[in-house]
């Protein structure tokens, strides 16, 4: 399990809240992502304590660990929420809402966080590819980067030149010796988005978990490793599916040994399983 300690650091005027568990970003009156229910409670407490004005929430995508904190934030403020239009389909799905609730409640149980919690659909404003938002001292540019999900958005914040990609560039282990690929909706789109992000110029890569990557050379190396690891991982998973003739339980056991344990991943095991199942289904379809 990732480190649960809450921390604050800054890149210029941008507040980065969280730690290895989950990072969210505050730019003036804008919050980018909310973390899980557990993290959303911590973020809302921070916002109240620091008297931060929260007028906008921008979301990178619709997964439980990026939108789960919204109920707590809506309890303390009345922000407008922005995301890719495809997120509306998620919010209109009873099955998706049920899953978001189940995964957040599971995590609350794992970390010993006891509270009444219910994730519900919310009003959404559209973020389209290329959208630019001018704040008092910052500019936020949105890029559509599908592949992890169909609603994945990457945000570039100037003048600090920090890029926040959600999980479009994978998630490193805590040592940054392995980057877990995160293609869940389309492998082809995921690779195209990863290559597009690699073509952009920025100074800080604001990942959602484990670490922040600083410096253009370090970012270049990280993105190169992410691309190469994705190709290796796809071949490993394809071979494993073939080896066990699509037996999902045996594939899961093999990937636990060859990936999760070998590379000392800190991602909650239930989340690793959920993503792995989506990847197995995707590769079997493609």
- pLDDT tens-digit readout, 127-141: 999 999 999 999 999
Range of the domain at 143: 7-285
Q: Residues 14, 124: contact at Cβ < 8 Å?
A: no
Q: How high does pLDDT run on average in the chain?
A: 96
Helices 94-111 and 269-285 sit at what angle, rounded to 10 degrees? 150
1 located within any domain: no
**Alpha-carbon distance 172 to 183, whole Å?**
14
With cut-offs at 50, 70 and 90, classify the pLDDT of residue 159: very high
Coil, helix or strand at residue 23: strand
pLDDT of 172 > 80? The answer is yes
Q: Determine the pLDDT at residue 1.
A: 73
Q: Determine the pLDDT at residue 21.
A: 85
**Alpha-carbon distance 25 to 14, whole Å?**
7
DSSP label at residue 125: E
148 located within any domain: yes
60 located within any domain: yes
227 located within any domain: yes
Percent of the chain topping pLDDT 70: 100
Domain count for the chain, please give it. Answer: 1
2 located within any domain: no
Tens of pLDDT, residues 23-82 = 999 999 999 999 999 999 999 999 999 999 999 999 999 999 999 999 999 999 999 999
245 located within any domain: yes
**Alpha-carbon distance 259 to 264, whole Å?**
8
Tens of pLDDT, residues 221-253 = 999 999 999 999 999 999 999 999 999 999 999
CATH number, domain of 72, equals 3.60.15.10
pLDDT of 153 > 90? The answer is yes
Q: What is the mean pLDDT of residues 172-179?
A: 96
Tens of pLDDT, residues 246-274 = 999 999 999 999 999 999 999 999 999 99
Q: Which residue has the tokens 């599916």?
A: 241
169 located within any domain: yes
Q: Determine the pLDDT at residue 286.
A: 74
74 located within any domain: yes
User: Has this prediction a pTM greater than 0.85?
Assistant: yes
Q: Determine the pLDDT at residue 20.
A: 82
pLDDT of 212 > 80? The answer is yes
């Amino acid at each position: 399990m990732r480190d649960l300690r809450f921390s604050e650091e800054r890149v210029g005027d941008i507040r980065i809240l969280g730690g290895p568990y989950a990072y969210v970003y505050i730019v003036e009156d804008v919050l980018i992502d909310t973390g899980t229910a557990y993290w959303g409670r911590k973020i809302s407490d921070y916002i109240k304590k620091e008297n931060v004005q929260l007028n906008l929430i921008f979301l990178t995508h619709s997964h439980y660990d990026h939108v789960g904190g919204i109920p707590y934030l809506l309890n303390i403020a009345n922000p407008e929420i922005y995301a890719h239009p495809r997120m509306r389909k998620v919010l209109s799905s009873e099955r998706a809402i049920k899953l978001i609730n189940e995964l957040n409640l599971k995590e609350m149980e794992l970390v010993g966080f006891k509270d009444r919690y219910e994730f519900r659909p919310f009003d959404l404003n559209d973020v389209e590819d290329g959208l630019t938002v001018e704040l008092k001292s910052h500019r936020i540019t949105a890029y559509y980067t599908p592949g992890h999900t169909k609603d994945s958005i990457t945000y570039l914040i100037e003048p600090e030149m920090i890029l926040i990609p959600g999980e479009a560039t994978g998630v490193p282990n805590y040592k940054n010796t392995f980057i877990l690929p995160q293609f869940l909706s389309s492998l082809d789109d995921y690779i195209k988005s990863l290559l597009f992000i690699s073509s952009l110029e920025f100074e800080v890569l604001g990942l959602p978990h484990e670490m922040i990557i600083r410096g253009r050379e370090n970012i270049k190396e990280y993105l190169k490793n992410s691309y190469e690891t994705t190709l290796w991982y796809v071949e490993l998973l394809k071979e494993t599916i073939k080896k066990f003739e699509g037996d999902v339980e045996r594939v899961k056991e093999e990937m636990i040994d060859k990936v999760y344990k070998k590379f000392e991943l800190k991602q909650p095991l239930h989340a690793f399983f959920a993503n792995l199942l989506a990847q197995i289904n995707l590769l079997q379809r493609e």
